[in-house]
Amino acid sequence: MNGSLQDTPPGLHSFVARLQELALDLFWSWNHAADALWSLLDPELWSLTHNPWVVLQTVSRRRLAELAEDTSFRRQLDELLAERQRALSSPAWFQRTHPQGDAGVIAYFSLEFMLSEALPLYSGGLGNVAGDQMKAASDLGLPLVGVGLLYQQGYFRQLIDTDGRQHAFYPYNDPMQLPIRPLREHDGGWLRLEIELPGRRLWLRAWQVKVGRTRLFLLDSNDPANDPAQRGYTSELYGGGAELRIAQEIVLGIGGWRLLQRLGLEVSVCHLNEGHAAFTVLERARTHMRSHGVGFGEALAVTRAGNVFTTHTPVAAAFDRYEPALLTRHLGRYAREELGIDEQALLALGRARPDDPHEAFGMAFLALRGSGAVNGVSRLHGEVSRGIFQPLFARWPRDEVPIGHVTNGVHMPSWDSSAADHLWTGCCGRERWRESLDTVGQDIAQASDLQIWQMRCAARRDLVAYTRRRLLRQMAAEACIERDIDAARDALEPDVLTLGFARRFTAYKRPNLLLHDPDRLTRLLTDRQRPVQLIIAGKAHPDDHEGQEMVTAWIRYIRSQPEVRLRAVFLSDHDMLLSENLAQGVDVWINTPRRPWEACGTSGMKALVNGGLNLSALDGWWAEAYAPDLGWALGDGEPAGDAEDAECLYRLLETSVVPEFYARDADGLPHAWIERIRRSMSRLTPTFSANRSVREYTERYYLPAAAAYRARMAAGSGAALAAWQARIARHWSKLYFGRLDVATGDGLHRFALQAFLDELAPDDVAVQLYAEGPEGGVFPMTRDTQLAGTANGHLFRAEIPARMPATSYTPRIVPCHPGASAPLEAAHILWRDQAGPS
């Protein structure tokens, strides 16, 4: 139906056009009323695909004619379109809160986006964050656009065979069945870009996805003008080897920036969602070079101020790295001819040790060196990231490594059940997730015990019904015997405590921790008085054989005993639709990562809005969210072995979770459990929503980055900054300290320090005292006099309250420039104590 109006009877043109308008805007994906409307067109196809564009193309003209005459249906359609128009046109949080906040356009680059099951361009957490932040940006009125890739196959689909083994399949993403449209030139031609690669030209096609107020632009290389290998550059997500990955990242970063330029968008801020997007740094600088006639160093100094880099990786080994020969083969000519730098200068941008010719090129290092702000995705991950990137800031204390954090959140309207939506609407209003959330927590806390419990019971019943339907389809696809398929119709029960676990199956997530003692787990599941049921889902990467064995272990455990089959289910092919149903229905979400390897985690956040509780290791977001009255903590945050953590997990379930769920009053209400739900919903849901995280990005990162970028665009500022950086690099090795005198009296330490600055101006640096500990910190020293008989020696002084011994303070010199960020843009540091801080 890309162009299907021409095949529609004239009398239906207007009606179908209105349906198309709704189907081609993913705004419908966080509106429960829209679900009901699409279901009326074709209930079975809608339940299987949740893709209104496919439903609309598949439904018969006769059915469309029937619905066109259905007054109730037309009223629903009119109301949805009117609501959409109100949501897209009325002033939102950003316009009201920052009426003068000139952020320009914020361009969000990501290798994956999880927006809807109708658009399968995601693998897991990274795409989840990208998609939810785009939706929240729409709700809040942020001037944001997304940039990604259109994969012909996307991430693999999972099938479990009769032996419990995982198999990977790659169905084709037919663009005609996706809710996307080609981007067109003014003359109607398809917008196409070209990138010069060594010995060849790469053509890219451009597409557009409407996401409420925002737009997602997608590039794909499946252009007939490309050779077969090039057409496969955007074939699959996280497939292939280094050659495919670097090609995809060139398309995303270089092609993505060129697309924004072709569209005439005035981008102030580029948000690089993980290091995959780092080549944007180079292309943005190249564009500035061409438009302003400056060199690469000055262009990078100006443009990096408008780049924000978010790292999601908890271990350095997980960063994308490329051997020097591979990088120079793909981008050596680009560096020489387009950036005006040699290959070694390009490689240095991606190395912890810029002069090491053998070190691989790290995309995360390039992203950091090309950005004006860097953050992790939880408080704990910020701490971990400062350790990971410490090698780029040699001799700087870890707590001064310039990486902050914005803890992720999820887009609550995308993950709430219809029952939860009804409860929240009644307590907090329809616009609750489009505002600043000031009273949302207080408002939802007013819900009665009965209202909360009815919502939870309805969601659990829906999950059990969904699980049975999906399990039956799954078993048919797996060619299970008819007896087992019949038995699956009775799997799970709507009134039993339901645990959920759905993660990527890989070693550090420990998806098999619950299987550590299978007999003990079986006793939990099959207890006649207080039974427990478990729904599990997850994929192991096709190259992760250990993860695949974990999948098989669960399948074999479940199939080993008839009574377990009724209480435990493994749902294959974990996708967004399955995630949504699990988040809506489970009573307790279980997460068992090995701390601190979970950068943030968002799956447990989705349960919050639905009244689901969390039992998780104190890692990622749960490390800052947990309180004893909100959920349960696996361990105490200190390292522990799998056996110890498994024992803790079983004990929590046996002695706390299960008894509390089944402790009922005469009316069947578990008041202690409900009160825990109320506290979790009111205190955690607003805090861990994408509404909060996007507002935090806006005020802490986007607006300051836009202002810094505009300031550096002022005449001469970039040249001055680049010249300062060059001076620092040229003269730093010749700086040294002289005499240090300390006098203590009247409760003060009085420091007098000689420092010799070679040919640097005193304003090029800052002389400071540094002390560790709770009373410590950084204390500036002021320049007093020039030392007699010296070319550039100066006396610096400071007075500090004598709360610690004078020996606790170490003098140091650091780069200093107004408007620049040290150590992010100049990582030099000189300590008087050559051992430096610990």
Give the integer Cα–Cα distance in Å for 719 and 722.
5
**Nearest alpha carbon to residue 112 among 57, 173, 54:** 173
Residue 649: the pLDDT is 97
Q: What are phi and psi of 760, to 5 degrees?
A: -80, 140
Reduced to 3 states, what is the DSSP secondary structure of residue 667?
Answer: coil
CB 568 within 8 A of CB 644: no
CB 747 within 8 A of CB 372: no
Which residues are within 8 A (CB) of 579 and not within 5 positions of it... i.e. 6 or more apart?
502, 537, 603, 606
Eight-class DSSP state of 155: S
Considering the domain delimited by 450-688, tell me its CATH architecture.
Answer: 3-Layer(aba) Sandwich (3.40)
Give the integer Cα–Cα distance in Å for 688 and 373.
22
Structure tokens at 396: 């700087």
Structure tokens at 337: 């001819």
Give the integer Cα–Cα distance in Å for 88 and 76.
18
Give the integer Cα–Cα distance in Å for 669 and 450.
8
Give the chain's mean pLDDT: 93
Amino acid at residue number 19 = L
**Model confidence at 462: pLDDT above 60:** yes
Reduced to 3 states, what is the DSSP secondary structure of residue 249?
Answer: helix
Residue 801: the pLDDT is 95
Beta bridge partners of 799: 750
Residue 6: the pLDDT is 53
Structure tokens at 774: 């709770």
Residue 834: the pLDDT is 54
Peptide bond into 224 cis (omega under 30): no
Residue 31: the pLDDT is 87
pLDDT in tens, 127-168: 999 999 999 999 999 999 999 999 999 888 999 998 899 999
Mean pLDDT for the stretch of residues 362-389: 97
Beta bridge partners of 797: 752, 782
Reduced to 3 states, what is the DSSP secondary structure of residue 121?
Answer: strand
Q: What is the DSSP string of 530-559?
A: S-EEEEEE----TT-HHHHHHHHHHHHHHH
CB 143 within 8 A of CB 260: no
Peptide bond into 182 cis (omega under 30): no
Eight-class DSSP state of 156: P
Residue 490: the pLDDT is 83
pTM for this prediction = 0.95
Two domains, one topology: 105-151+180-408+698-713 and 730-831? no
Residue 637: the pLDDT is 87
Q: Domain boundaries in the chain?
A: 4-89, 105-151+180-408+698-713, 450-688, 730-831
Mean pLDDT for the stretch of residues 21-46: 92
Select 730-831's CATH number: 1.10.287, 2.60.40, 3.30.70, 3.30.43. 2.60.40
Select 105-151+180-408+698-713's CATH number: 3.40.50.2300, 1.10.3720.10, 3.40.190.10, 3.40.50.2000. 3.40.50.2000
CB 499 within 8 A of CB 458: no
Which residues are within 8 A (CB) of 694 and not within 5 positions of it... i.e. 6 or more apart?
133, 136, 137, 140, 142, 409
Mean pLDDT for the stretch of residues 15-26: 95
